[in-house]
Amino acid sequence: MKARQAKGMSQEDLAGEAEVARNYVSRIENGHVAFSVPVLLKIAEALDIEPSKLLKR
């Protein structure tokens, strides 16, 4: 969530860029769902950051 907010993106913006559902982004951010490596890569690309940055707390 911090990376998304730092980029000034809403969940809907990120979902559109990463080609995933907005509610899926919400569930990932809230820790309610595990996500696959391909989704991790899509989100990292949409945020223009290294995937490893998304795995750090």
Per-residue pLDDT reduced to its tens digit, 7-49: 999 999 999 999 999 999 999 999 999 899 999 999 999 999 9
How many domains are contained in the chain? 1
How open is the CA angle 34-6-26, to the nearest 5 degrees?
30
**Structural domain harbouring 46:** 2-51
Average pLDDT of 3-8?
94
**Tokens coding 35:** 């996500």
The pTM is what?
0.88
Check which CATH number belongs to the domain holding 24 and give it. 1.10.260.40
Predicted confidence at residue 57, as pLDDT, reads: 63
**Residue 57 lies inside a defined structural domain of this protein:** no
Helix (H) or strand (E) holding 23: helix 22-29
Residue 27 domain flag:
yes
What integer pLDDT is reported at residue 55 of this predicted model?
Answer: 86
* Confidence (pLDDT) at 1: 82
56 located within any domain: no
